[in-house]
Structure 1
Amino acid sequence: MAIPKTTKTNYPGISYYSDSQKGKVFLATFTINKKKYRKIIGYENDEFKTNAKIAFLKKESMKNEIENNTYIKKDLTFKQLWELYLEHLINSKSVSQKTLINKKSVYNCHFKTKFDNLKINTIQTYNIQQFANDLLKTKSPKSVDNYLADLSALFKFAIKHKITTNNPVILVDKPKYDNTREYPLDFVESKRLFNTIINFKEPLYKDIFTFLLHGRRTGEVLNLTWDMIDFEKRTYTIKYEINKAKKNMSYEMTDELYNIFINIEDKDGYVFKSLVTGAKIKNLRWAWDRILKEANINKSMRIHDLRHLIGEISLNNTDNSMEVVAAILGHSSTRPTRRYAKVQQKVAAQGIKKVFDTLK
């Protein structure tokens, strides 16, 4: 049926014509990807008592729904889907820049040659399983499991946007592995390492590694900026963009941290800056090697193990509870330290003080 001549309203893309039974019949007109849409959106005597404003809101909702489903092309290749997925991650800002870089690297190194030109709806569990089995010949089970997780996230995205109905990763036999790592040092070695750090002769790295001894992750420390520090409240906040919990995490400063922060002269930008470039420090490996050498630690010890040092000493050499350790380390779920209640900043600060007093 041909649509009669319409009259424009004050709302963009909304016009109407009159009908003897329905009253004003509202039409929505909009364009997406050079394709023009013209649809009846409601009428004056319907259950919503549609008027021009309601018609406009309905039009915007319909437009968003269509835009969100512009991906629906049943013949998309893996490469095309990956590009859409990456664009979504960038626009939604749902992952960090570091995660984006990592995903791009995984795609280029592992997914591209294997899947790039395959139609997304032709990829079966068998293909994914063969991919995983081949990788296990040269990669660790943990790495392969991570790659499968990336693939699964991609297919979930495709299902959400109705590009496919199947996630072939779900039925893959994933590699089994034990990801636990035993803390390598005994109490005497831990104490020696701790005291080497807090007395280290290089002031910048002494400050950084002392901060790490408070249970913080390397990225949290190196990305700390002065706007995250509140001297009046004696607190610092690790913002959601730079922590694993993906939410702002606030901590009370210990006396050691307060003295570190207050004595840094340049209180602009990053807290810890390179002595050479003045920019953010990107690598602590060489300083860490010097610390281990000075502490006479010959065992395999990662910087991240300083978090384990705090947890180990807390649980075995102080009366700190699981709840306190969880608060010190900034765990956002109960998994790393079983079940724990919310602990106030002051309690966490008192817990780290007990660890420091034990190791000094």
Structure 2
Amino acid sequence: MMIKDTITLLMRKFFKKQVSIAVLSVKWLDLKRCEGKVKAVTLQNYNRQINLHINPILGFYDVSSVSEEVIQMFIEILMKDKGLNPTTVRNIVGRLSEIMNFAVKEGLIYNNPCTLVLLPKGKNKKGKALTLEEKISLEKVLSTQKIPQNIAIQLALYAGLRISEITALRWKDIDFKQGFIHVQHSFKRIQTNNKEQKTILHLGTPKSQNSVRAVPMNRQIKACLEDYYKVLNDIQAQDESFVVGKKNGSFYDVRAIQRHFVKLCKIAGIEHCHFHDLRHTFATNAKESGIDIQLISEILGHAHTATTMNIYLHPSDTYKKEEIKKMDQIPENEYLKVKSIIEKICSEAV
């Protein structure tokens, strides 16, 4: 068996196929399409990255001639000449790496050169949670009108839903009797080849498997939805109509909701706030209410609790003060007991 492997390696070395990155990327995309594991909109995004960024620079390169140095040069061009941000560059190089892994499997190269390059460090976009004062101010503004755009904001604030999930909700997804919101769809903006309309909204499944979930309704969001449902017309109230819908039952564009939110923030006197910060606010409020972190993570549709803890929780100063007071509640005899145990452990360690 070893002799056969050696012969195979020698044959590959001296009789390599001359395949360009452009040709290989088409084969790789076809393979992904045939596997059926990747969503159509994701495949479209892959195709866009390849045609817009990878092939114009590396397309004519033979796969075997793409070295670590070539890819490092590619990264420099994306950063300096094209002015792309670090996160976008990392995504593009990630796509190139998948193509190069495919080349390894096809026997065109021995190792993936992408594994050795230095990638630009992406800046984490830190969200924030509204302060109690900001939350109260926003709630006052929201209470003045029972309109679809306001319901969208309340669904994020009181249920922690993503804006793409909120705009895709239909009334059949709201179970008032059992008290659950069933998240089963989301909107995603995709590129088109139409010069007049460069992007369109695609209704598909949510971000990941964990995003398909049943979100329990608290008293606030249930009351908001029930009151809003009462003022809808016959078309808007149909099961198939969108919750955040127009008078004809159709959906609102995500951008329209975001613009409305910015407008309300100005009225409420809230600065530097994004719609997604409402999701952060929900997570923080849930944690400060004593809800288990695992449950919060599941409600938000996260695959890992670390994502919830490290990105979405922003303890308020008030909560910090209240929590630290718990240390004052430890009886002196318990404190001395714990102190003795700690000292004993430390002495044994030495």
Conservation of the 8 A alpha-carbon contact between 1:223 and 1:242: no
CA change 1:311–1:166 in 2 (3 A) is: same
CA change 1:229–1:153 in 2 (3 A) is: farther
Question: Share of identical aligned residues, percent?
Answer: 23
Check if 1:252 corresponds to 2:216.
yes
Conservation of the 8 A alpha-carbon contact between 1:74 and 1:164: no
Check if 1:266 corresponds to 2:238.
yes
Structure showing greater radius of gyration is 1
Conservation of the 8 A alpha-carbon contact between 1:212 and 1:307: yes
The residue aligned with 1:333 is 304
The residue aligned with 1:168 is 113
Match of 2:53 among 103, 110, 120: 110
Conservation of the 8 A alpha-carbon contact between 2:129 and 2:284: no
- Structure 2 residues without counterparts, runs of 5 or longer: 1-15, 186-203, 231-235, 311-350
- Larger helix fraction of residues: 2
Deviations 1:100-159 (A, max 9, x none): 333233223311210112222221111111111222222222222222222222223343
Query: TM-score, structure 2 length as denominator?
Result: 0.65
- Which amino acid is 2:71 matched to? I
SS at match of 2:113: coil
2: CA distance between counterparts of 1:304 and 1:228? 22
CA change 1:94–1:313 in 2 (3 A) is: same
Deviations 1:169-223 (A, max 9, x none): 11011122441515274332233234434x2525111112211221111112222
Match of 2:279 among 290, 307, 330: 307
Q: Which runs of 4+ in 1 moved over 6 A?
A: none
The residue aligned with 1:124 is 67
Match of 1:209 among 153, 158, 167: 153
CA change 1:269–1:162 in 2 (3 A) is: farther
SS at match of 2:115: coil
SS at match of 1:268: coil
Conservation of the 8 A alpha-carbon contact between 1:224 and 1:271: yes
Q: Following TM superposition, by how much is the alpha carbon of 1:93 offset from its aligned partner in structure 2, in angstroms?
A: 3.6
Cα RMSD (Å): 3.0
Conservation of the 8 A alpha-carbon contact between 2:64 and 2:109: yes
Structure-to-structure mapping, 1:1-360, within 5 angstroms? 74-137=17-80, 138-183=83-128, 185-197=130-142, 199=143, 201=145, 203-213=147-157, 214-226=159-171, 228-239=173-184, 242-247=205-210, 248-258=212-222, 260=225, 263=230, 265-268=237-240, 270-275=242-247, 278-279=250-251, 281-283=253-255, 284-299=257-272, 301-315=273-287, 317-338=288-309
1: CA distance between counterparts of 2:184 and 2:62? 40
Deviations 1:67-96 (A, max 9, x none): xxxxxx933321222222223333434333
Conservation of the 8 A alpha-carbon contact between 1:152 and 1:167: yes
SS at match of 1:170: helix
Choose between structure 1 and 2 for higher RCO, CA contacts under 8 A separated by at least 6 residues.
Answer: 2
CA change 1:151–1:276 in 2 (3 A) is: farther
User: How many residues matched?
Assistant: 264
- Structure 1 residues without counterparts, runs of 5 or longer: 1-72, 340-360
SS at match of 1:266: coil
